[in-house]
Amino acid sequence: MILVTDFDNTLYSHSDPQVLINNLQVAQSFRQAGNKFVLATGRNASSLSRVLPDFNKYFDYIILDNGAVCLG
pLDDT band at 49 (very low <50, low <70, confident <90, very high): very high
**CB contact set of 72 (below 8 Å; sequence gap of 6+):** 60, 61, 62
Predicted pLDDT of residue 50: 95
Where in the sequence is the domain holding 54, given as residue range(s)?
A: 2-71
How confident is the model over 1-42, as pLDDT tens digits?
Answer: 999 999 999 999 999 989 999 999 999 999 999 999 999 999
Predicted pLDDT of residue 44: 97
Task: Assign residue 43 the CATH number of its domain.
Answer: 3.40.50.1000
Number of domains in the chain: 1
Q: Quick one: average pLDDT of 39-52?
A: 96
Predicted pLDDT of residue 10: 95
Give the Cα separation of 49 and 42 in Å (integer). Answer: 13
SS3 69: strand
Predicted pLDDT of residue 8: 96
